[in-house]
Structure 1
Amino acid sequence: MDAALIAKCADPSLPPAIVEQFISAVGSDDPLAVTVKADGRLVLIPKPRSPDEAMAVIKDYVGHAIVRVGITQFPADVRVGDPSQLQPDMFDACANLRTGTGIFAKVARIVTKWYGRPTNSELLPQLFDDTVYAWKTGTFEGDNVFRANDPGGPTFMNKSSEKPADDGEPAAPPPESENSTQSAEPSSANVGGMRIDLSRIGGGR
């Protein structure tokens, strides 16, 4: 992942090292990537060659399958109330990174709050692992993380969000949970083995 793209587009509450690990764990190097899962199974689809083709795939499946998009593989309908509101800018690398890391940061705050907002940097790998797992499955402790309110507070151990807890996303993906194998690429590193380079994050606070 290009450092300049991260600096320009990623959520500022996430350190660049975390963003890189997030993309490595769940993302894709193809901005046009579309992953569709129905009834827990990956649906084979033709590889989109343009944003218009990618949008056509989304419109075919959104609403009755779980559709993940772009380099961060966020749920396509996570912030819209109606499929007709979906826009092709979700396939722009910067826009996708901004939206995806923003949602991932919210999930991180949910996980961090559940852990009691610890300050021990040795817990950071476990916090990260659990956040990635929640991103892949769509749930954490039985709650839909994409539908849940943003609790505010620390994002991992880096910094607090710049806004207070909100009233939830305008819309949510289908309530079906995804399993831990959800990824743009089946060969992505598995969650249990994920460890991040703490030295690049800067002291753990």
Structure 2
Amino acid sequence: MVDAALIKECSDPGLRPAIVEQFIERAGASDPLAVKVRSGNRVVLVPMPKTAEEALALVRDNLGRNTVRVGITQYPAGLGIVEAGQLKPDLVDACENIRMGTALFAKVHRIVTKWYGNPTEKQVLPQVFDDAIIAWQTGYFEGTAVFRADDPAKAKMADPMPEVKDDSTSERAEHGATEDSDAAQDIAADPNKAGIRIDLSGIGAHVK
């Protein structure tokens, strides 16, 4: 479990701590040095890094041929990277990883919300959040590479206030999002330029 104080201090200010906790629980990792490597739909077994240097070396070894996710938010390691030598220790710094990851997730959520037509119905909003999680995990939503897509920051966003039940699941888990071994290379957007922030205050309000 990621420390609540760390989440409050480092996460994107547009996301409530309860939302960040749910995001990390469903799509992230508790270890800031966690590195997950995939080749297509296959998980590549890699040694567990014990230091930041080992984690970055593992990322460098796999960038360009596999999809690599790293850190607490399982941030896409190849985002904006042209050469492996451009990797920065920020990827495995807990606070920086949360900062970058939550800012990028906020953008992904805006993309999914826009696709749904910026709904305001409380019963729909948890489904939008579920699909945003899936888009984060795969890198795609309805054929769009969400990490490099334009940020619909100017879209009028809903102010969701639904209650999310523990057993709520997405009915759209098979909306066509696919994982691609070249996903890390396809990503080119700057997650630090996520535009305006949105308040997802209602989603995951039950999370303690």
* TM-score, structure 2 as length reference: 0.75
Equivalences for residues 5-84 of structure 1 within 5 A? 5-84=6-85
Q: Cα 1:126–1:64, aligned 2, differ >3 Å: closer, same or farther? A: same
SS state at 2:65 partner: coil
- 1:59-138 to 2 correspondence within 5 Å? 59-138=60-139
Identity of aligned residues (%): 53
TM-score by length of 1: 0.76
Q: Secondary structure at the match of 2:123?
A: helix
What SS does the aligned partner of 2:72 have? coil
Determine the C-alpha separation between the residues in 2 that align with 1:156 and 1:23: 23
Q: 1:199 to 1:80 in 2, by over 3 A?
A: same
Deviation of the 1:27 alpha carbon: 0.8
The answer to whether 1:157 aligns with 2:179 is no
- Distance in 1 (CA, whole Å) between partners of 2:157 and 2:62 is 32
Residues 127-176 of structure 1: per-residue CA shift (max 9 Å, x gap) = 11000011111101101011111110466636xxxxxxxxxxxxx72349
SS in 1 for 2:102: helix
Residue correspondence of structure 1 range 138-157 to structure 2 within 5 A: 138-152=139-153, 153=155, 157=159
Runs of 4+ that moved beyond 3 A: 153-158, 196-200
User: Contact conserved, 1:127 with 1:156, CA < 8 A, in 2?
Assistant: no
Contact 2:78–2:184, Cα closer than 8 Å, also in 1: yes
Go from structure 1 to structure 2 and tell me whether the alpha carbon gap of 1:156 and 1:82 turns closer, same or farther (over 3 Å shift).
farther
Q: Give yes or no for contact 1:71–1:96 (8 Å, CA) kept in 2.
A: yes
Please state how far the C-alpha of 1:18 moved relative to its aligned partner.
Answer: 1.1
Structure 2 gaps of 5+ residues are 161-182, 188-202
Give me the whole-angstrom Cα distance separating, in 1, the residues matched to 2:99 and 2:77. Answer: 14
1:80 maps to a residue whose letter is I
RMSD: 2.1
C-alpha separation in 1, matches of 2:113 and 2:137: 17
Q: Which amino acid aligns with 1:74?
A: Y
Which residue in the other structure is 1:168 paired with? none
